[in-house]
Amino acid sequence: MNEWHAVGFSDAMVAGELYPITLLGRDLVGWRDTAGALHIWEDLCVHRGAKLSKGQICDDQVVCPYHGWRYDGVGICTLIPAAPDEPPMAKARAFTHRVIERYGLAWACLGEPVRDIPNFPEWDDAAYVKVPSGPYAFKANAFRSLENFMDVSHFPFVHGNLNGIAGQAEKLERYSVAELPFGLKTSEITVFQPVGDARGVPVKSNYTFMALGPLVAHFVKRIQDVDEVGNPVNGQDTHFATLCAIQMVDEGSCILRVCAALDVKPAPDAQVIKDRADIIFTQDREIVETQRPERIPTELRYELHHRSDLLGQRYRKWLRALDITYGAV
- CA nearest to 146, candidates 25, 245, 49, 270: 245
- Of 109, 131, 154, the position where a domain reaches its end is 109
Tell me how many degrees the CA angle 188-214-219 measures, rounded to the nearest 5. Answer: 25
Q: What is the per-residue pLDDT across 147-202, written as a single tens digit (0 to 9) for each? A: 999 999 999 999 999 999 998 888 999 999 999 999 999 999 999 999 878 888 89
Look at the alpha carbons of 308, 161, 210, 301 in this order and tell me if their dihedral is positive or negative: negative
Specify the pLDDT at position 199: 85
Structural domain of residue 47, as residue ranges? Answer: 5-109
- The CATH number of residue 275's host domain is 3.90.380.10
37 has pLDDT over 80 = yes
- Of 64, 80, 109, the position where a domain reaches its end is 109
Specify the pLDDT at position 162: 92
Q: Residue 329: inside a domain, yes or no?
A: no
Q: What is the per-residue pLDDT across 71-128, written as a single tens digit (0 to 9) for each? A: 999 999 999 999 999 999 999 999 999 999 999 999 999 999 999 999 999 999 999 9
Q: Which amino acid, one-letter code, is at 14? A: V
Residues 158 and 247 in one domain: yes
- CA nearest to 141, candidates 4, 296, 247, 281: 296
Count how many residues are written for the chain.
Answer: 329
Specify the pLDDT at position 227: 83
Query: Quick one: three-class SS letters along 215-276?
Result: CEEEEEEEEEEECCCCCECCCCCEEEEEEEEEEEEECCEEEEEEEEEECCCCCCCHHHHHHH
- The CATH number of residue 103's host domain is 2.102.10.10
Residues 247 and 303 in one domain: yes
